[in-house]
Amino acid sequence: AQSVTQLGSHVSVSEGALVLLRCNYSSSVPPYLFWYVQYPNQGLQLLLKYTSAATLVKGINGFEAEFKKSETSFHLTKPSAHMSDAAEYFCAVSLMIYNQGGKLIFGQGTELSVKP
Amino acid sequence: KAGVTQTPRYLIKTRGQQVTLSCSPISGHRSVSWYQQTPGQGLQFLFEYFSETQRNKGNFPGRFSGRQFSNSRSEMNVSTLELGDSALYLCASSLGQGFRGVNTEAFFGQGTRLTVV
Residues of A in contact with B45 (CB under 8 A): 103-105
Q: Do the Cβ atoms of B101 and A102 come within 8 Å?
A: yes
Which among A46, A90, A100 has CB closest to B43?
A90
A39-51 pLDDT per residue, tens: 988 899 999 988 8
What is the model's pLDDT at position B104? Answer: 67
* pLDDT at position A96: 62
- Would you state the pLDDT for residue B77? 98
Sheet holding B5-7, edge to edge: B5-7, B19-24, B74-78, B64-68
Distance of alpha carbon B26 from alpha carbon A110, whole angstroms: 28
| d(CA A44, nearest CA chain B) in Å | 6
Q: Which residues of chain B have pLDDT under 70?
A: 1, 97-104
Q: Does B25 touch chain A (CB under 8 A)?
A: no
How does pLDDT run across B4-33, given as a tens digit for each residue? Answer: 999 999 999 999 999 999 999 999 998 899
In tens, the pLDDT along A12-62 reads 999 999 999 999 999 877 788 999 999 988 899 999 988 877 889 999 999
Contact flag B104-A32 (C-beta cutoff 8 Å): yes
Q: Residue B26, SS3?
A: coil
SS3 readout for A34-101: EEEEECCCCCEEEEEEECCCCCEEECHHHCEEEEECCCCEEEEEECCCCHHHCEEEEEEEEECCCCCC
Smallest Cβ–Cβ distance between B100 and the set A46, A98, A109 belongs to: A98
Chain-chain contact of A104 with B45 (C-beta, under 8 angstroms): yes
**Looking at beta carbons, which residues of chain A come within 8 Å of B92?**
44, 104
